[in-house]
Amino acid sequence: MTVLNSPAVSELDDAARAVERAGEGLQRACTTLARRGDDVRALRAAVRSAARLTRALATAVDGIVDHVPRSVVRAETADDLVADLKALRNCLATGAAVADPALDDLRDLTLSDPEGEFARSYQEWAAASTSAGS
């Protein structure tokens, strides 16, 4: 039985909202890129938004994993499902990390404050890695 106001439910709702916001950001960035396809800033924003969405999805999958033991009665099925979802989460986290070198390449072309952007990117990565590493 799941209590509706439990911390696990609240965290999962927060993750879902983060995915929704990141998805909306990606949609806006892609729309801008489609209109201004020769703009390196629009390209960078689209890549950054895709990485942010991927990180948010990794966090959401991590939250879903927490619900498997309460939702799946058969232990062996639950164990397999947890393993599959953790593999998915790890692929998503790795995918987001793969975007970082592309963003580094684009950063030098678009920013006047590369150090500040690096600090922000590192904080995003660290937050996603901490959530995904559990």
Query: How far apart are alpha carbons 62 and 82 in whole angstroms?
Result: 10
> 114: pLDDT confidence band, cut at 50, 70 and 90?
low
Q: Which of 5-9, 21-25, 73-77, 127-131 has the lowest mean pLDDT?
A: 5-9
User: Looking at residue 2, what is its pLDDT?
Assistant: 40
- Give buried/exposed letters for 73-111 (b at 16+ CB in 10 A, else e): eeeeeeeebbeebeebbeebbeebbebbeebeebbeebe
